[in-house]
Structure 1
Amino acid sequence: MPSHARPSRFRLSTAIFDLLDPIPFGFFVAALIFDIVYAYSPDVLWGKGAAWLISIGLLFAIIPRLINLAHVWFIRSRPAAYVEKIDFWLNLIAIAAAIVNAFVHTRDAYAVIPQGIWLSAFTVVLLSVGKVVLATQKAGFKEFRHE
């Protein structure tokens, strides 16, 4: 089976990106779970835990997004695919929503509940859609043809 991957001079940055890119998604999903549990629990620990998870997820989102910024917009060795640009913008909007969510989580007690859950869910949905868009490009729908 021939490989359709393009050789890249930027193997180290691609490896770092591939290593660090899934980490923020895990933190944001955990924050969504903590927010949902906090909505049904009187324990403030869940809300504070969600705030920490969002903050750590944002810290881990910085390096992959900077690498993605360089690969998609500044490196001219290969033109960026349209789906890579869509993924970049979806991730950028998700990070902006997570930043707003971090500010929402600085509120006291149950003032976090309605907006915190919606912003956490919005962040997770945007990141998920970005991953699905990239997966459809990588699959190329060639596996689904009958030959």
Structure 2
Amino acid sequence: MPPRSTVAVVLYEWLNPIPLGFFVAAWLFDIIYLYSYEIFWTQAASWLIAFGLVIAIIPRLISLTHVWPGTAARQPAALKLHFWAWALAVILSIINAFVHSRDAWAVVPAGVTLSTMVVLLLFIANLQLALRQRTA
């Protein structure tokens, strides 16, 4: 397996947690909106999802180049599962961004459901990777 670029690893480790923070904050804002119906919260969640998606691009591309080219058979299952879970979370977040672009009253319950699915998916992906790397 060829060595990984130090710059790519540093960028990945530096940028990878940031989208998770944006998506969790958007999820919390969706829950607040669910109980308050203050339009500010759904607009803020919409912006957080958009920022999370923009920042998620670089770590996903780095992950793509580190997990799959030529050595996919030798990569640990934890990395592959982490990659696919993040990919699915990004796709759900894109759909969620479109849901949040609608009128504020139309965001509930689809926006809250999608935000919850994204956060749970990312939590499971990161947890399984951490637990498998701990035992390796």
TM-score by length of 2: 0.93
Are the aligned partners of 2:67 and 2:79 in contact in 1 as well (CA < 8 Å)? Answer: yes
Higher helix share: 2
Gaps of 5+ in 1: 1-6, 142-147
Conserved? CA contact 1:71–1:80, under 8 Å: no
* C-alpha distance in structure 1 between counterparts of 2:90 and 2:60, whole Å: 9
- Aligned-pair RMSD on alpha carbons? 1.9
Give every structure 1 segment of 4 or more consecutive aligned residues whose post-TM-superposition deviation is greater than 4 Å. none
Which runs of structure 2 are paired with 1:1-147 in the superposition (5 Å)? 8-74=3-69, 76=71, 79-140=74-135
Aligned partner letter, 2:42: G
Cα shift readout 1:25-67 (whole Å, capped 9, x = no counterpart): 0000000000000111131110100000000000010000000
Whose radius of gyration is greater, 1 or 2? 1
Output the CA distance in 2 between the equivalents of 1:69 and 1:46.
33
Q: Which amino acid in structure 2 is aligned with residue 95 of structure 1?
A: V
Compute the displacement of 1:11 (Å).
1.5
Q: Give structure 2 stretches of 5+ with no counterpart.
A: none
Determine if contact 1:34/1:49 at 8 Å carries over to the other structure. Answer: yes
Deviation at 1:75, TM superposition (A): 5.5
Greater relative contact order structure (CA < 8 Å, 6+ sep): 2
Give the stretch that moved more between structures: 93-102 or 79-88: 79-88
Identity of counterpart residues, as a percentage? Answer: 45
Please give the TM-score of this superposition, normalised by the length of structure 1. Answer: 0.87
